[in-house]
Amino acid sequence: MQICVIGTGYVGLCSGVGLAAKGNQVACVGRNKDKIAGIQQGIPPIFEGGLQELLQEVLRNGLFRATDDFAGAVKEAEATFLCVGTPSGKDGRIDLTEMRQAAAQVGEALPDGYCVVVVKSTVVPGTTEEMIRILEERSGRKAGKDFGVCMNPEFLREGRALQDFLQPDRVVVGQLDPRSGDVLQRLYAPFQAPILRTDLKTAEMIKYASNSLLATKISFANEVGNLCKQLGIDTYAVMGGVGLDHRIGPHFLRAGVGFGGSCFQKDVSALKSLAEDQGVPAPLITDVLEVNRRQRFKIIDLLERRLPVNGKTIAILGLSFMGGTDDIRESPALDIIPALLQKGAAVRAYDPQATRHVRPLFPQVTYCASAREALAGADACLLLTEWEEFRSLTDQDFSGMRSPVILEGRRMLDRSKVSRFEGICW
Ligand code: UGA
């Protein structure tokens, strides 16, 4: 199928490359000429496991191109996916500026024949209907008759985005009418995943409810984890037992420094605002965010119980919000580093991918090329991101520290390799 993807961010690029890998002809539209040139040369603007290799393959096969010719790409497409940013506004509500602009531009460029416009960005219920009004106004044509509309939320975890795209648990197709949905049913048929067809608002809500429930599981695991630590119980063993119940499942029960990333914070906040706007009390959703906010500072409390921070050198291992990505949005490190600096500590930091993004924010931090280098001469170490390479750290790696205060915000270290360390919840 001939596909146009508006947006070259995480979702746009991973979806575009994934659809091309399934044999579709994809044009990914961006505004930034340097970014487009890089993508055309096979260099993605973000670090995402496997993306560079697959991008280069689909470019070689002639199935994928990046372009700034918005109208040209839309005119050729049977389906145009809107994958633009929907960031949080100041009040937690989503900012639809980019979405509205993109819908207007798509409306002006709609092809003469039938095509489907697909909203893939995360948007609150009712937004796709608003986009339909913009599309109709700009095109002078009728949705459901002259063109189709779908809402097709994404469930991509950063660091595993391609795997999640190519092997989804489910595909949700919110449709304006059956003809619109049939186009996406055909597109996703080779993915061998259940395809759930709903109306537009239901699809929009499925995304918010999914992310909010995942965030709730994490905050719940953190509350249980804090209690387990107090009682001398291993919370990972507890959640191992809890997760064996098929009604609960084993995932997203890992306690620690809490969730980061642009999605959970943004989507739970948007759901909270939506509930407020509707006058529907949603205390649980509000608390999920508050538990998460408090959780990230627990590692500093733990540190201060071990040594006075003022004048000390603290090594930070991990800057990105999660392993496998260079994304630092809402990363715990971005709250923890300034708190340490404010308390008079010197900070040495190491991250395999994210250093270039953090350096401009905190130029006073010493950025190191390896964990061992960051640890050299440090009085304490805070491990904040689940990078796989941290699993293999041994006593030898920590031997250059001035004092062996090793604190984990993610359960990564192995007691058989590192003799003394403490976790936030263990
Ligand atoms: C999340 C969802 O998992 C995706 O399904 C969704 O599509 C995406 O948001 C989005 O809305 O775009 P993402 O934030 O990229 O994906 O990554 P997750 O794997 O969900 O991790 C989020 C954060 O939770 C990370 O900081 C991770 O370290 C933390 N986490 C995760 C925990 O603290 N404990 C856990 O048990 C699991």
In tens, the pLDDT along 358-376 reads 999 999 999 999 999 999 9
196: Cβ contacts below 8 Å, ≥ 6 apart:
170, 171, 172, 173, 206
Atom 24 of ligand 1, nearest CA residue: 259
How many angstroms separate the CA atoms of 39 and 65, rounded? 8
Separation between Cα atoms, residue 32 and residue 25, nearest integer Å:
22
d(CA 88, CA 269): 8
Backbone angles phi, psi at 75, to 5 degrees: -60, -30
Looking from the CA of residue 385, the nearest atom of ligand 1 is 28
- Report the pLDDT averaged over residues 42-59: 96
Cβ(316)–Cβ(374) under 8 Å? Answer: yes
Band of pLDDT at residue 92, cut at 50, 70 and 90: confident
- Token readout for 407 is 């604190």
In this predicted structure, the answer to whether residue 63 has a pLDDT above a threshold of 90 is yes
Choosing from 46, 152, 156 the residue with most ligand 1 atoms within 8 A of its CB, the one to mutate for a pocket test is 156
Phi, psi of 369 (to 5 degrees): -90, -5
Tell me the CA–centroid distance for residue 74 and ligand 1, in Å. Answer: 32
Average pLDDT, the chain: 97
Instruction: Evaluate: CB of 332 within 6 angstroms of ligand 1.
Output: no
| The residue to which tokens 């980061």 are assigned | 260
Contact of 314 with 382, CB cutoff 8 Å: yes
Cα(42)–Cα(3) distance, integer angstroms = 19
Nearest Cα to 198, choosing from 142, 150, 164, 154? 150
* CA–CA gap between residue 62 and residue 221 (Å, rounded): 46
Predicted confidence at residue 94, as pLDDT, reads 87
Please provide the distance, in angstroms rounded to a whole number, between the alpha carbons at the two ends of the chain.
Answer: 51
> Is residue 351 helix, strand or coil?
coil
Whether 424 lines ligand 1, by a CB cut-off of 6 Å, is no
89 pLDDT more than 90: no
Which ligand 1 atom lies nearest to the CA of residue 267? 11
Burial class of residue 151 (count of CB atoms within 10 Å of its CB; 0-12, 13-18, 19+): buried
The protein residue with its alpha carbon nearest to ligand 1, atom 31, reads 252
Distance 11 CA to ligand 1 centre (A): 14
pLDDT tens digits for range 184-242: 999 999 999 999 999 999 999 999 999 999 999 999 999 999 999 999 999 999 999 99
Number of residues assigned to the chain: 426
Check: CB of residue 332 under 8 Å from CB of residue 349: no
- The residue-averaged pLDDT of 77-83 equals 98
Cβ of 321 below 6 Å from ligand 1 = yes
Cα-to-centroid distance, 360 and ligand 1 (Å): 25
Question: Could you give the domains of the chain?
Answer: 2-198 (3.40.50.720), 221-408 (3.40.50.720)
Gap from CA of 320 to ligand 1 centroid (Å): 12
Active site residues: 263
Tell me the per-residue pLDDT of 100-152, one tens digit each, with 9 for 90 and over: 999 999 999 999 999 999 999 999 999 999 999 999 999 999 999 999 999 99
Pairing state between β 148-151 and 171-175:
antiparallel
Angle at 207 (CA atoms; ends 203, 209), nearest 5 degrees: 110
Quickly tell me which residue has 């280069």 as its tokens. Answer: 56
- The answer to whether 103 and 128 are in contact (CB under 8 A) is no
Q: What percentage of the chain exceeds 70 in pLDDT?
A: 100
Q: Which atom of ligand 1 is nearest to the CA of 256?
A: 33
pLDDT band at 93 (very low <50, low <70, confident <90, very high): confident
Give start and end residues of each alpha helix (H) in 157-199.
161-166, 178-188
C-alpha distance from residue 115 to each of 4, 42, 91 (Å):
11, 29, 36
- Please say whether the beta carbons of 170 and 195 come within 8 A: yes
Whole-model pTM: value is: 0.96
How far apart, in whole angstroms, are the C-alpha atoms of residue 86 and residue 9?
A: 11
Q: Are 406 and 422 in contact (CB under 8 A)?
A: yes
